[in-house]
């Protein structure tokens, strides 16, 4: 093989390798699911009546951080519990009480799935079909909400 031809083949292979690496590294990030909603932090203070609820779960009241409400119905909070655990807490705004919490090790994002029932569908102004899963994920300064629509099992696709 002539040196000029060999140089072209090598440069073509290197260019192909570079394009492949760039595409390979970029595709996972592009394919990663994106949150449908991001609930930012707010300056709302926790209700003083929650102190016993939080104390029973080893959550420090002063660590409570409010986030925007989901559909003006669901209160969403993050907090720190004993041993550095990170917590995600929710409650119904009209009842002004906390009703669900999940805490994880400090290096993991607290996550829980909320299945939209007929009752929640009404409360959320029919934003989602019954059976939709709203996955809430607590992050450093926000709560991400992923929407997982129910599937039509007959067709294998979303309904």
Judge if 27 and 41 occupy the same domain: no
* Number of domains making up the chain: 2
Specify the pLDDT at position 96: 65
Judge if 108 and 129 occupy the same domain: yes
Specify the pLDDT at position 109: 93
Specify the pLDDT at position 140: 84
Per-residue pLDDT of 1-46, as tens digits, reads 566 655 564 455 444 444 444 545 444 555 678 999 999 999 999 8
Q: pTM here? A: 0.73
Specify the DSSP element, H or E, that contains 102: strand 97-104
Per-residue pLDDT of 76-103, as tens digits, reads 999 999 888 999 999 887 776 787 789 8
Per-residue pLDDT of 39-74, as tens digits, reads 999 999 988 888 888 999 899 899 999 999 999 889
Q: Considering the domain boundaries, does residue 120 fall inside one?
A: yes
Judge if 3 and 75 occupy the same domain: no
Residue with tokens 């994002």: 109
Tokens of 159: 């309904």
Pinpoint the alpha helices (H) of the chain: 3-31, 51-56, 118-123
For 18, phi then psi, to 5°, come to: -65, -45
DSSP, collapsed to helix, strand or coil, labels residue 51 as helix
Tokens of 133: 């899963």
Q: Considering the domain boundaries, does residue 159 fall inside one?
A: no
CA distance 84 to 4: 63
pLDDT at 132 over 90: yes
pLDDT at 111 over 70: yes
Q: How far is CA 154 from CA 149, 157, 158, in A?
A: 15, 8, 10
């Amino acid at each position: 093989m002539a040196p000029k031809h060999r140089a072209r083949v090598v440069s073509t292979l290197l260019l192909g390798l570079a394009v492949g690496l760039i595409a390979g590294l970029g595709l996972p990030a592009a394919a990663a699911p994106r949150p449908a909603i991001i609930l930012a932090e707010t300056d709302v203070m926790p209700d003083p009546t929650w102190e016993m609820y939080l104390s029973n779960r080893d959550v420090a009241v002063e660590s409570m951080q409010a986030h925007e409400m989901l559909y003006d119905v669901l209160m969403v909070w993050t907090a720190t519990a004993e041993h550095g655990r990170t917590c995600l807490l929710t409650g119904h705004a009209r009842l002004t009480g906390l009703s669900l919490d999940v805490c994880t090790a400090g290096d993991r994002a607290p996550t829980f799935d909320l299945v939209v029932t007929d009752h929640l569908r009404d409360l959320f102004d029919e934003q989602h079909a019954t059976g939709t899963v709203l996955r809430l994920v607590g992050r450093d300064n926000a709560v991400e909400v992923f929407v997982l629509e129910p599937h039509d099992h007959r067709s294998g696709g979303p309904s």
